[in-house]
Chain A
Amino acid sequence: MSNFSNYLFKNKHLLLLFFLLPPLLWLSIIYLGSLLVFLFHSFFYLDGFTGKIVYKISLNTIIELFSSAANIDILIRTTILAAFVSIGAAIIGFPIAYYMAKFTSPKMKIFFYLAIMLPLWSSYLVRVYSWKLILAKEGILNWFFSKLHATWILDFILSMPVIGGPSLSISYLGMFLVFTYIWLPFMILPIHASLERVPNSLINASYDLGASKRQTFYKVILPLALPGIAAGSIFTFSLTLGDYIIPYIIGTSKFFIGQAVYTHQGVAGNIPLAAAFSLVPIAIMTIYIYVAKKLGAFNAL
């Protein structure tokens, strides 16, 4: 046994292979294998008469995806929502990240860190559920507005086109709130990481050279936080693109990419179209990550 281990130690490559083989085999056979087989279905198509999958390579399904106005609507709607969620998360997340990176004592920092990690790792479903309680007609948000005698503000917002709806729990605004809430920690952590790397002396230098607080923020701090925001938006954007549970529970009856994938593979049995739909977020994210990499987002991770 000891001889064997010595042999391994002396043959670094063999040792590497010995370590790498189990996880590599697991991931390539179980994961990558099934993933590629599924995605490859987008080159097959569903026979209109029999409802069976035709295993012939063609672009029929891809063409079907992009030639239907309803499908294009789904893609655009999901992308716009993902963009708004990313912007919303950046706006809410930035002050927390900035405060945490530059103004906290070590002890407070641990508190903030935990305050962000706990929601991040705690149950996704429970957190979605909590918003069902909040947005309900008899829930806390409506109670709060009525106590302030400001129900008219809420009614006004809900009467607005597109974002409004019959109630907060069946509106794009509600969905936006829930998505922003759920993915917020993914935005805070990378921004914090990028801001923590900005030396205080740099900020002092900006003040010393006569810049005002405002100028320092916009010309020094914000540009240096951009890679962090870009990195965070990779998460918020991609997670929103692929989610189907929040639109299902909070949303309107209008479909999003995740729901389209779910419906086509399930009830309709149209795996080719589901696969074609799945290719879209993957394609968008590949381009997005490429651009973010150019902006230096990966140094902030």
Chain B
Amino acid sequence: MSQKNWGHLMPSKKAFNLKKASLSLKLGAIIGILFLHIPLFLIILYAFTTEDKSYQFPPPGYTLKWFSIVLGREDIWSAVYLSIHVALVSTFAAIILGTLAAAALYKADFFGKQSITLLIILPIALPGIITGISLRSAYGVVGIPFSTWTIIISHATFCMVVVYNNVVARLRRTSPNIIQASMDLGANNFQTFFYIILPNLGTAILAGGMLAFALSFDEVIVTTFTAGQQTTLPIWMLSELIRPRQRPITNVVAVFIICITFIPILYASYVTRNTTDIEGSSK
């Protein structure tokens, strides 16, 4: 048998090279990433355009004046305040409820555990419109008038799962031995909780809370059904999307929304940079 036929049993020359992707794969990946990001860059570009009647590209000129106009807009500011208010309070509720659920479920195994896990995920897994209408008609049946609180209750319901996912992932990787060790060294339960468990969970809770904030801050569907006459920033944005009346203002608000959601997301991935806590599939 000639040597050629044995070639495939030799240590392969074509061995899978981690450094070298084929050109088409590289191109595919680059095009994909560009596809994900060019639209966001465009919005930033449009915030500076002098054109205010259409979405003309390339912009005929550049100006900063829309930013100063937005700064003076009372209606936008009150929408921003409402959105931040709602996001802060519902994140707070989601942190408490999500952490408790994670603490109960991460290790225990009991009848019905699967159903409870499903129940936690369901508000985000089902289409927002179903969650929204359900809550809306429930408020109607019980006779709760729409207020900031009806939005907050709705948001906390679907933000819980984000905190839950982050904390559960952290708890699974935390050794139970350190709790035992703390107890053996004479700490009582409260000391163990505050000095050992909480610092361990800290960044996971923080990251979960950040993502919950970002999620609540730009949620629009459930909000549409549970806000009554109130205008959060996404609801303002949606009305402009349906009937564009103030294009340049909308562009600037969009940039503002990008900034205010990017900060918590970047921070969340920064505090958990050495772990794999933030699972995208959790959204």
The residues of A with any CB-CB pair to B shorter than 8 Å are: 1-2, 5-6, 8-9, 16, 19-20, 22-24, 26-28, 30-35, 37-39, 41, 92-96, 98-100, 102-103, 110, 112-134, 136, 138-140, 143, 181, 184-186, 188-190, 200, 203-204, 207-210, 213, 231, 235, 238-239, 241-245, 248-249, 258, 261-262, 265, 271, 274, 278, 281-282, 301
Q: Which of B32, B123, B157, B211 contacts A96 (CB 8 A)?
A: B32
Label chain A's interface by main secondary structure: helix
Q: Which 4 A-B pairs have the closest CB atoms?
A: A242-B127, A95-B28, A34-B138, A130-B39
Cα A278 to Cα B122 with chains together (Å): 14
Q: Is B69 an interface residue (CB 8 A)?
A: no
Assuming A20-B104, A207-B12, A238-B125, is B241 touching A125 (CB within 8 A)?
A: yes
Which residue of A8, A130, A207 is within 8 Å of B189 (Cβ)?
A: A8
- Within the complex, the shortest CB–CB distance from A38 to chain B, in Å, comes to 4
List chain B residues, Cβ under 8 A from A258: 127, 129
Q: List residues of chain A with CB within 8 A of the CB of B249.
A: none
- CB neighbours of B126 from chain A (8 A): 35, 242, 282
Q: Are A99 and B26 in contact (CB under 8 A)?
A: yes
Flag if B189 contacts A99 (CB, 8 Å).
no
Docked CA distance A138–B40 (Å): 18
- Min C-beta distance of B123 to chain A, whole Å: 6
Contacting pair B254 A126 (CB below 8 A) = yes
**CB-based contact B258/A123 at 8 Å:** yes
Answer whether residue B91 sits at the interface, using C-beta atoms and an 8 A cutoff: no
A30 to B133, CA, bound (A): 13
A100: chain B residues within 8 A (beta carbon): 29
A-B contacts besides A23-B101, A121-B261, A133-B39, 10 pairs, CB < 8 Å: A23-B100, A32-B119, A34-B134, A93-B32, A117-B265, A134-B39, A184-B35, A189-B281, A200-B18, A258-B129
B181 within 8 A of A: no
B36 to chain A, nearest CB (A): 5
Q: Is B250 an interface residue (CB 8 A)?
A: yes
Taking CB as reference atom, which chain B residue is nearest A135?
Answer: B55
Query: How near does chain B come to A117, taking the closest CB pair, in angstroms?
Result: 6
CB A185 to nearest CB in B, in angstroms, measures 6
Is B234 among interface residues, defined by CB-CB distance under 8 A?
yes
Do A112 and B33 form a contact, CB below 8 Å, given A31-B157, A203-B16? yes
Establish whether residues A204 and B12, one from each chain, have CB atoms under 8 Å apart when the complex forms. yes
Residue of A nearest to B217 (CB): A123
Is B15 touching A124 in the complex (CB atoms < 8 A)?
no
Please give the distance in Å from B98's CB to the nearest CB on chain A. Answer: 7
When each residue 224-256 of chain B gets 1 if its CB lies under 8 Å from chain A and 0 otherwise, what string results? 000000000010011001101000001000100
A8, A41, A96, A98: residue with the most chain B Cβ atoms closer than 10 Å: A96
Once the chains are docked, how many angstroms separate the CA of A99 from the CA of B3? 35
B57 within 8 A of A: yes
Which A residues touch B57, using CB under 8 A?
A: 133, 138-140, 143
**Residue on B nearest A100 in the bound complex, by CB:** B29
Which residues of B are found within 8 Å of A28, using beta-carbon distances?
119
Query: With an 8 A cutoff between CB atoms, is B103 at the interface?
Result: yes
Residues of A with C-beta under 8 A to B242: 248-249
Q: Which residue of chain A has the shortest Cβ distance to B135 in the bound complex?
A: A34
Do the beta carbons of A30 and B157 come within 8 Å of each other? Answer: yes
B8 (CB) vs chain A CBs: closest residue: A210
Flag whether B130 is at the interface (Cβ < 8 A): yes
With a cutoff of 8 Å between Cβ atoms, the chain B residues found around residue A245 in the complex are 220-221, 238, 241
Contact A238 B36 (CB under 8 A): no
Which of B134, B188, B217, B280 is within 8 Å of A37, CB to CB? B134
When the two chains form their complex, are residues B157 and A19 in contact, meaning their CB atoms are under 8 A apart?
no
